[in-house]
Amino acid sequence: MKWNYRKKTALVTGASSGIGEVFAHELAKKGCNLILVARTQERLEQLARVLEEMYTINAVVIPMDLGRFDAAGRIAQEVSNLGLSVDILINNAGFGTLGRFNDIPQSRLIQEIQLNIGSLTELTHLFIGGMCERKDGVIVSVASMTAFQPTPFMAVYGATKAYILSFTEALWAEYRESGVRIVALCPGETKSSFHAVSGTECLNSKRMEPIEVVNAAFDAVEKDRSSRIVGINNNVMALLSRFLPRRVIINVTKNIFQPALENKQISADQ
């Protein structure tokens, strides 16, 4: 059955750029009111004004660093204060770090785990109950192609995305009869600010447009899929990771990321 987005309220994390910003536009286009979450208040407020003018919807902003341990609870409290309920949760916010594990500051690794896993899990826990009561809801959690194999030189990032895939597919099975549609979205490299933040600008690969990723998510929701890999080549790569020896896959991944790390180090030394 086709899911009706009109007049629903969607909370989008990481809404200020990239995939999150495109999600916000496409949900507004479908008639959703929006709760936009990201760190930068000015950018969120600008986006909210644009979306309200373009699509005649309501958009509120909650500036928040989801790397904080209390972020999810503070967001839920603000949603309650606004008298809103969340019908659609887009768990998009996340970041990675390219580097040798022992060279990355421990504080950054902890923040990465908190943002990618902790806040995502807490937000899902805080809002899924209301969706179940209404027998209606959508949760899309953005994983990655790194969810399918360990990722040398981005070890923590890859592990967090493997968690998101496993966690989300488990919830899909748990809540399939509840009226809540739950999808793990697995894009490959996508044009966004992620590469500047993670240090992976030097990766030599074709990057998808964010709209491709977002459209794949909507299609997966309509088909009640537990997960969606975006792109034909990425589907092939995911299949190879299941059939080739794990050692081979890990070494292939290492050979992809190691040149980017070396180029990053050269740039830093210049």
Q: Known catalytic residues?
A: 157
Whether the CB-CB separation of 181 and 135 falls below 8 Å is answered with no
- The neighbouring-strand residues paired with 140 are 90, 183
Q: Kindly list the strands in the beta sheet with 9-13, ordered across the sheet, starting from the edge strand earlier in the chain.
A: 59-63, 33-38, 9-13, 88-91, 137-142, 180-186, 227-229
In angstroms, rounded to a whole number, what is the distance separating the alpha carbons of residues 254 and 251?
A: 5
How would you write the chain as a 3-class SS string?
CCCCCCCCEEEEECCCCHHHHHHHHHHHHCCCEEEEEECCHHHHHHHHHHHHHHHCCCEEEEECCCCCCCHHHHHHHHHHHCCCCCCEEEECCCCCCCCCHHHCCHHHHHHHHHHHHHHHHHHHHHHHHHHHHHCCEEEEEECCHHHHCCCCCCHHHHHHHHHHHHHHHHHHHHCCCCCEEEEEEECCCECCCHHHHHCCCCCCCCCECHHHHHHHHHHHHHCCCCEEECCHHHHHHHHHHHHCCHHHHHHHHHHHHHHHHHHHHHHHHC
